[in-house]
């Protein structure tokens, strides 16, 4: 009897470890994540009373993961999760128009920062030539961090438990990349315009903006998820806005202090 009891307990433990029971009301994205995380082949589906109502196989879960990945890509581009080549011109325009309007508003905000330094730019034409480089590098760096963060949130690899570690990593990466390109652009600016101060200004601005880009690329998706907003849908616009505004403000602000 003792041996039989022990075998029963052991069998129960093994059963609980091997089988993952899926509630019928569970979100399909969470189900797909469970299959991927625990390497499941199939899982029973039960209703609220624990009765078996069906089963899910790995084929179903992988199909859902593919759909989730496609939705994230479309949302990051701001074209809507239902976009396809078969959509009409009116449907395509309707889905893209709202986020283009948001982008226009954020572009006006970035332009207003430039307008604050109109006098500085008018005295040093080189600044107008160089400032798009700072903003563009920050935007690209932010998009790199953003893409990794949104994907990690979707797969639940990025959570509150490891958020600070990931943020610190992106800050260090931004610092290192910023230093590399600061040296490159400092030398290029010196050769191009022959003014050492401009080289120092763009070098410092490059470092600061790439650090901010790394922070924004991870921080903004985390904040949006905490607020209940899909990070894939709204993060890109906010990250680009932050890197543009910070890039212009730091570059032109430093130029005003150093060159005038």
Residues 140-188 pLDDT 10s: 999 889 888 888 887 778 888 889 999 999 999 999 999 999 999 999 9
> β-strand 22-23 against 42-46: which pairing, if any?
parallel
The model's pLDDT over 73-115, given as tens digits with 9 standing for 90+, comes to: 556 555 555 555 566 777 767 777 777 788 888 889 989 999 9
More confident residue, 226 or 53: 226
pLDDT for the residue numbered 21: 79
pLDDT for the residue numbered 6: 44
pLDDT for the residue numbered 42: 78
Confidence of residue 16 (pLDDT cuts 50, 70, 90): very low
Closest among 209, 202, 74 to 140, alpha carbons compared? 209
- Mean pLDDT score across all residues of the chain: 80
pLDDT for the residue numbered 68: 66
Cα gap 117→257, rounded to integer Å: 11
pLDDT for the residue numbered 82: 53
Give the rounded distance of the alpha carbon of 84 from its chain centre.
Answer: 23
pLDDT for the residue numbered 157: 81
Q: Are 153 and 190 a contacting pair, CB within 8 Å? A: no
Cα gap 260→249, rounded to integer Å: 16
Q: DSSP letters along 29-68, please?
A: HHHHHHHHHHT-SEEEEE-TTS-EEEEEEHHHHHHHHHHH
pLDDT for the residue numbered 10: 40
Q: How many residues does the chain have?
A: 260
The model's pLDDT over 201-244, given as tens digits with 9 standing for 90+, comes to: 999 999 999 999 999 999 999 998 888 877 777 778 889 899 99
Q: DSSP letters along 79-114, please?
A: S-TT--TTS-HHHHHHHHHHHHHHHHHHHHHHHHHH
C-alpha distances (whole Å) from 107 to each of 15, 114, 225, 240, 251 are: 57, 11, 24, 9, 17
pLDDT for the residue numbered 69: 63
Lowest model confidence (mean pLDDT) among 1-15, 34-48, 60-74:
1-15
Q: Which two tokens stand for residue 225?
A: 């998820």
pTM: 0.72
Mean pLDDT value of segment 188-194:
91
In sequence order, which residues have a C-beta less than 8 Å from that of residue 158 and are 6 or more positions away? 149, 152, 166, 218, 222
More confident residue, 35 or 120: 120
Cα gap 27→204, rounded to integer Å: 47
Q: Helix 163-193 and helix 196-226: axis angle, to 10°?
A: 160
In sequence order, which residues have a C-beta less than 8 Å from that of residue 82 and are 6 or more positions away? 95
Indicate whether 7 pLDDT > 70.
no
Indicate whether 256 pLDDT > 80.
yes
């Amino acid at each position: 009897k003792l041996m039989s009891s022990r075998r029963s307990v052991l069998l129960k433990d093994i059963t609980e470890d091997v089988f993952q029971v899926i509630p019928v009301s569970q979100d399909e994205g969470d189900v797909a994540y469970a299959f991927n995380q625990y390497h499941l082949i199939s899982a029973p589906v039960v209703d609220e009373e624990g009765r078996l109502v069906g089963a899910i196989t790995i084929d179903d879960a992988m199909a859902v993961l593919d759909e989730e990945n496609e939705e994230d890509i479309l949302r990051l581009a701001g074209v809507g999760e239902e976009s396809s080549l078969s959509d009409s011109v009116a449907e395509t325009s309707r889905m893209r128009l709202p986020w283009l309007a948001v982008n226009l508003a954020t572009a006006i905000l970035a332009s207003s920062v430039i307008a604050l330094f109109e006098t500085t730019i008018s005295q040093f034409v080189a600044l107008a030539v160089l400032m798009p480089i700072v903003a563009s590098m920050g935007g690209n760096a932010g998009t790199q961090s953003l893409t990794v963060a949104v994907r990690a949130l979707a797969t639940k690899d990025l959570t509150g438990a490891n958020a600070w570690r990931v943020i610190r990593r992106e800050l260090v990466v931004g610092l290192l990349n910023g230093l590399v390109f600061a040296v490159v652009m400092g030398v290029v600016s010196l050769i191009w315009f022959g003014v050492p101060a401009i080289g120092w200004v763009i070098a410092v601005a490059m470092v600061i903006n790439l650090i901010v880009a790394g922070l924004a690329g991870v921080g903004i998706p985390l904040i949006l998820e905490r607020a209940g907003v899909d990070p894939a849908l709204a993060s890109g616009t906010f990250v680009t806005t932050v890197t543009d505004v910070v890039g212009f403000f730091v570059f032109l602000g430093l130029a005003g202090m150093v060159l005038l």
